[in-house]
Amino acid sequence: MYARRAAQLLQELSSCEEGQLPPYNGDKFDQVIRECEEHSRQFQSLIRDKDIETKNEDHYGSFIHHLSIIRNKRCLMAYMYKRAEVIQSYRWNVGRVLPREIQDKLNFSEQEYFKDYCGVIDSYMKDLDLDLTVDMVPPKDPYIRVRVLSEIGEVSLGDHAVSLTKDSFHFLRRTDAETFISQGLMEEFVE
Amino acid sequence: MPGYYDISDILMEDEAVSVAFHVGANGVGLLDPGTETNSVEKGAKIDLPFWLAHELCRRRAVSITIPSCFGQKMKKDVQADAACVDLGTRYPYFYEFGCKLFPLVGDKSIGLFLRHTFANRYKEMLSKSHTASLNAIPKFVLRLSKEEYQLFEAARSSMVEFKKWRVRDLGLMKTTIVGHKRKTDLH
């Protein structure tokens, strides 16, 4: 009672490393909500039939219950907000598809949130005709060495045509190569 | 000012303070483990979390007693050696808590005490953060409060970035200067 459980929820969240999430603790979350209902019941029983202005014992008791509910609300909101922030960062750091370990830590509505967020980002990038999630760190070189993984054939890049046969090496502009790399047809060749 | 969603602010407000009730309060017996009825008597002395004590104090229902972290013993410890006082395990929210507490308690000396403690610990913290390596966590770090720890991390990461910048690969041949141990303060 009195927001101790809610504080434990937040402790759990803050003890994780930056950018990581603990599994969604649905049980504790529901317990906090039940505590709020209990506070609300006590509050109702204390203010029933009383004049709001008289500052007697019931008034202060009901005030304490009211403050507890507000406090629980703040803790739960902060919990959801922090998790939502980390989920947003996953789109930028990890990508469109989340690995199994991360997905297991999210509850159903958080997974939906992730899908919707990806959808919003994608429609925005489509309007701009620009992929914002590539090159998060500015690259040192506009050109990149690549190795072709599967047969692509003749492709015209800029002013010349390149024959992209399997297992051939090329030195291409980064923007041209990115589309093939994201489809898995090429890989960056790092010495 | 910390925001509504700021988790460290929320956790800081969970610190317990001892209060004396000026009024009675019904229906909240769980707050006072010693009570038999479901209420708190006028004049009772209980430990409340700070968020509750703060609101009740504003409405003059309770008065807050200064907690031990700002009391005489602490002041003596800080006088003796500020850098050795273990804020990390005992009072991780020392500074923020003090800042929020002192308008309510009316003890003007808390503000000066906070500043004095911070100033004395700062020198030690500054020199340790510039010399500490990335992997080892010196025992000293465990004694820092949350705010001090953020400063420490900021200094350490800027030192790491500086070292990386010094040995960066310019695409030229590396010279032997990089290997020398130069006797400057930065090492």
The string of pLDDT tens digits covering residues A90-141 is 888 877 788 888 888 888 899 999 999 999 999 999 998 887 877 666 777 7
CB-CB contact of A19 with A86 (8 Å): yes
Containing A153, the helix (H) or strand (E) segment is strand A153-157
CB-CB contact of B105 with B66 (8 Å): yes
CA distance A20 to chain B (A): 15
Q: Is A81 in Cβ contact with B5 (below 8 Å)?
A: yes
- Please count the other Cβ atoms lying within 10 Å of the Cβ belonging to residue B101: 23
- Please count the other Cβ atoms lying within 10 Å of the Cβ belonging to residue B165: 8
Query: Residues A9-32: pLDDT tens digits?
Result: 888 888 888 878 888 888 888 999
Find chain B residues with C-beta within 8 A of A32's C-beta. Answer: none
User: Residue A1: is it exposed, middle or buried by C-beta count within 10 angstroms (0-12/13-18/19+)?
Assistant: middle
Phi, psi (degrees; rounded to nearest 5) at B31:
-70, -30
Q: Report the pLDDT value the prediction gives residue B79, as an integer from 0 to 100.
A: 83
Distance CA A2, CA B49 (A): 9
Reply yes or no on whether the pLDDT at B47 is more than 70: yes
Chain B CB within 8 Å of residue A42 CB? yes
CA angle A160, A162, A166 (to 5 degrees): 175
Q: Is B27 in Cβ contact with A45 (below 8 Å)?
A: yes
Taking the CA atoms of chain A, what radius of gyration do you get in angstroms?
27
Between A130 and A81, the more confident residue is A81
Find chain A residues with C-beta within 8 A of B27's C-beta. Answer: 42, 45-46, 58, 61-62, 65
Closest B-chain CA to A59: B25
The residues, ordered by sequence, that sit 6+ positions from B106 with a Cβ below 8 Å of its Cβ are: none
Chain B CB within 8 Å of residue A55 CB? yes
Find chain A residues with C-beta within 8 A of B59's C-beta. Answer: 63
